[in-house]
Amino acid sequence: MTEVKFFFNVDSRLNFACRLSKRALDQGKKLIVYAPDEARAAAFDRLLWSYEALSFVPHVRADHPLAKATPIVIANAASELPHHDALLNLADEPPPYFTRFEYLREVVSTDEADRLRARERYEFYKSRGFEIQRQDMGTASAAK
């Protein structure tokens, strides 16, 4: 069964998604970043290019010829999935294909509208029997 984990109380969903992407890369995991909204996908793509000045986070869009060989892939649809290790959801709703993955990560900002949408996703997973882990990134120990 897919392991679902919510990271909440982050300042910026996209910045924290970069952090999780780098962590997945460092752990040798392949990551699909689900961003069906083109504006959000493009913003995340740009942000990854400038994330941490002294490191490189290799990533491509799902339709790129090197997607199968690249550890981090930004996808807009279920048909574009070159691997199934971990999924990072940047959509406002649950991804339609999340059960194909070993891990699902959700990122929730401090914005009230974002928190409400995240609660709906949380209830969606919970009502389907998924055990959900939660990590509050707003605490002093989590921010380190």
Give me the count of residues in the chain.
144
Domains located in the chain, CATH noted: 3-143 (3.40.50.10110)
pTM for the whole thing?
0.93
The per-residue pLDDT of the chain, averaged, comes to 93
Q: What is the pLDDT of residues 47-100, one digit of tens each?
A: 999 988 778 899 999 999 999 999 999 998 876 688 999 999 999 999 989 999
Give me the DSSP letters along 30-64: -EEEE--SHHHHHHHHHHHHHSSTT----EEETTS
User: What are the DSSP E strand ranges found in the chain?
Assistant: 3-10, 31-34, 59-61, 72-75, 86-89, 103-109, 132-136
Q: How far apart are the first and last CA of the chain?
A: 30
Q: Is the pLDDT of residue 109 over 90?
A: yes
